[in-house]
Structure 1
């Protein structure tokens, strides 16, 4: 799965969790760019992404993410 395919899937997860059909993520998108992306929704997003890709993230990985692209890098490294 390449980065654009991962981004598409992650975008679908965000749309589902945040209930916003108009949401379009880029690799540069951060929580500051998305109105409803708060700490509670962040946890729900992480859990949903882990289930979707059948992977697990460490706390350190999750805390290091500043953008969607950094999340995609973590997903990519675990799905090779």
Structure 2
């Protein structure tokens, strides 16, 4: 699965969790760009992403993310293992 496919799935997860079908993510999107993306929703997003892709993130990995692109890169790396 390439990063574009991952981004599309992550975008769907964001729409579901944040209950906003108008969300359109790009690799450069940050939490500050999405009004509903607060600390509580961040946890729900991570859990939903882990379930969808069948992976687990470490706390250290999560702290390295500066944007959606960073998140998708880590997902892609985990899927290759």
Verify same fold: TM over 0.5.
yes
Q: TM-score range by the shorter chain?
A: over 0.9
Alignment root-mean-square deviation, CA? 0.5
Per-residue CA deviation, residues 31-59 of structure 1 (Å, 9 max, x unaligned), is 00000100000000000000000000000
Instruction: Establish whether residue 14 from structure 1 lines up as the match of residue 2 from structure 2.
Output: no
The residue number in structure 1 matching 2:36 is 36
Deviation at 1:8, TM superposition (A): 0.3
Deviation at 1:66, TM superposition (A): 1.2
Q: What runs of 5+ residues in structure 2 fail to find an aligned partner? A: none
Which aligned pairs between 1:54-65 and structure 2 lie closer than 5 A? 54-65=54-65
Q: What runs of 5+ residues in structure 1 fail to find an aligned partner? A: none
Q: Distance in 2 between matches of 1:31 and 1:61?
A: 16
Query: Aligned residues, how many?
Result: 80
The secondary structure found in structure 2 opposite 1:79 is helix
Kindly report structure 1 stretches of 4+ aligned residues shifted beyond 6 Å.
Answer: none
Instruction: Establish whether residue 76 from structure 1 lines up as the match of residue 80 from structure 2.
Output: no
Q: Distance in 1 between matches of 2:5 and 2:73?
A: 12
